[in-house]
Chain A
Amino acid sequence: QKEVEQNSGPLSVPEGAIASLNCTYSDRVSQSFFWYRQYSGKSPELIMSIYSNGDKEDGRFTAQLNKASQYVSLLIRDSQPSDSATYLCAVRSSGGSNYKLTFGKGTLLTVNP
């Protein structure tokens, strides 16, 4: 069973701080990694994707991937109350016909004004 693990939280940070969200995965040959944001009562929306080791920045968001450690993280700089949501890590396993994404259970982030 291929697993994606996240701390459920809640993770609480003050406005303006850096929020750090972490995710580990069990399938060593996973190829694609994603972060989705889900506001309460809404559906998930894709905010970041990363495919190779290192950092990828998009505005206030930075995704970090370390395949050797099977670890992917999301940093949110200058956190805003509007960032309060559940963040879902998703991993696509290796090739063949296995195209499904496996999601973690999500980390609830609360940004306090």
Chain B
Amino acid sequence: KAGVTQTPRYLIKTRGQQVTLSCSPISGHRSVSWYQQTPGQGLQFLFEYFSETQRNKGNFPGRFSGRQFSNSRSEMNVSTLELGDSALYLCASSLEAVNEKLFFGSGTQLSVL
């Protein structure tokens, strides 16, 4: 069974640009969560989708948005990039409606110059 797939693996952008990250969950998993990981702040929750609906959102500005498609694939968008957005963005999927046992993808390493 294929794991969680995230693309691209690495991204380099400049301030002010926007970026879209993609995540394909494990087959059969309907919940997709996004996390930002930085050395200083650790893993911080961005948002979680289940059956195309955003169920929870973390404390990030509106520049961070996401969506989920009918096949459970998810995208995350960050507009007007700032230097502080440089981080590893991790997507995780889970089988159950209650988002507990997460399976993480390899992440997208975003560098904002």
B-binding residues in A (CB < 8 A): 32, 34, 36, 42-46, 49, 88, 92, 97-106
Interface size class of B (residues with CB under 8 A): 20 to 34
Residues on B with beta carbons closer than 8 Å to the beta carbon of A36: 102
A32→B100 contact, CB < 8 A: yes
A43→B105 contact, CB < 8 A: yes
B58→A101 contact, CB < 8 A: no
Residues on A with beta carbons closer than 8 Å to the beta carbon of B48: 99-100
Residues on B with beta carbons closer than 8 Å to the beta carbon of A45: 104
From A42, A44, A101, A106, give the contact of B99 (CB < 8 A): A101
A99→B55 contact, CB < 8 A: yes
Residues on B with beta carbons closer than 8 Å to the beta carbon of A46: 101-103
- For the A-B complex with A43-B106, A101-B100 known, give 11 more contacts whose Cβ atoms are closer than 8 Å: A36-B102, A45-B104, A46-B101, A46-B102, A49-B100, A49-B101, A98-B56, A99-B99, A100-B45, A101-B45, A105-B42
B41→A105 contact, CB < 8 A: yes
What CA separation (Å) do A105 and B56 show in the bound complex?
A: 21
CB-based nearest B residue for A88 = B43
The A-contacting residues of B in range 56-113, CB under 8 angstroms, are 56, 58, 90, 97-107
What CA separation (Å) do A105 and B38 show in the bound complex?
A: 10
Residues on A with beta carbons closer than 8 Å to the beta carbon of B24: none
Residues on B with beta carbons closer than 8 Å to the beta carbon of A92: 98-100
What CA separation (Å) do A23 and B71 show in the bound complex?
A: 37
1/0 per residue, CB under 8 A from A, across B42-56: the answer is: 111100101000011
Interface centre among A32, A46, A49, A100 (most CB of B within 10 A): A100
Q: How far is the CB of A5 from chain B (nearest CB, A)?
A: 11
Residues on B with beta carbons closer than 8 Å to the beta carbon of A104: 42
